[in-house]
Copies of this chain bind each other. A is one copy, B any other.
Amino acid sequence: MFEGSGLAKKYKIKECECPSGKMTRFVEPCLLFFLSQGDSYGYELMTKLDNFGFPKAKPDSAMVYRTLRYLEKEGFVVSKWDTKGTGPAKRNYGLTQKGMGLLHLWAESIAMRKQVLEKFLKQYSHQFKSVRKK
């Protein structure tokens, strides 16, 4: 994994000088995807994100709640309070058709992005193949 490589130490580079894998921006498509599997609420979505494979650091809860509110404002999701069950009331979110559309757009965008990263990595590893033993 990223932390364990020792490269940062070797070259005396602060960890923060290259993105650590938080991928906060990625929160939005994840939320949309989770909601496409069924209604849910902020706290639960947060734990799902947590298990989704974010390389590092827990997703920022502020990000989750604010993203959900943004998505609702724009009509990508709808919510209603759920007072049933134990504990404090939950705001239960559901995906709209428009939200489903946004998810598909995100998927296209992510696929494209993946290709760009792949292109970079291909060129990179081609150039350094001889240097990078191990």
Contacts and interface: CB of A to CB of B under 8 A. Distances in A.
A48 B114 CA distance: 20
A115 B118 CA distance: 10
A123 B55 contact: no
Contacts of A128: 104, 107
Contact residues of A: prevailing secondary structure: helix
Interface residues of A, number: 56
A42 to B, nearest CB: 20
Interface in A82-134: 97-98, 100-121, 123-125, 127-128
Copies of chain A in the complex: 2
A36 interface: yes
A126 to B, nearest CB: 11
- 10 closest pairs, A vs B, by CB? A11-B101, A114-B117, A18-B105, A107-B124, A55-B112, A7-B105, A18-B106, A110-B117, A7-B104, A53-B119
Interface of A: 1-2, 5, 7-8, 10-13, 17-21, 23, 25-26, 29-30, 33, 36-37, 52-55, 74, 97-98, 100-121, 123-125, 127-128
